[in-house]
Each structure stands twice: as structure tokens, then as C-alpha cells.
Amino acid sequence: MESQLTLRLPGELAEKLERSAKRLKRKRSDVVRQALEQFLDTEPEIRPIERVRDLLGRVESGVPDLGQRHREYLVRRLRRGK
């Protein structure tokens, strides 16, 4: 091994580790190494906005207060038939 890491585990987590090591018939350090490898190899959680960011755009209406008076503009447009 090239590097050593020492850490403290809460009692419940230490018990889970012990049970897994016994069930898998491996050393606790092997189980920790495998779990750490799986965790680090998986893609990190991607925020939903990042999944669709390239689909989002920006539309310029030319109407400066469209955000505040959108209903009024919509009704007016519907009445004109456009």
C-alpha cells in the first residue's frame, strides 16, 4: 500500500462495516477500500438545472414590463386575435 488513512467511525457504522466484512469474508479495510472506490468512480450528483442548461434560452420581447403585466398583455393580444 502506498498511503495509509486513519479515521473514526460512529458505533453504528462500525457495526455495519463489521457485519459486511464477515458476510463478504473480507477484511474491514478491503470493504472500506471497495466502498470508497465505488463512491469515487460514480458520477457526482448533478443538479437538475445542469441537465437542461443547454436547452434553456432567453427570449427578448421588447416589452420592458412583460414580467409584471404579462396577463394584461396576453388578454390584449387574445382580444386582437393575434
pLDDT in tens, 7-51: 999 999 999 999 999 999 999 999 999 999 998 888 777 788 887
DSSP string, 17-82: HHHHHHHHTS-HHHHHHHHHHHHHHSPPPPPHHHHHGGG------S-TTTTTSHHHHHHHHHHHT-
pLDDT digits (tens, 9 = 90+) for 48-77: 888 777 777 766 777 788 788 888 888 888
Give this prediction's pTM. 0.52
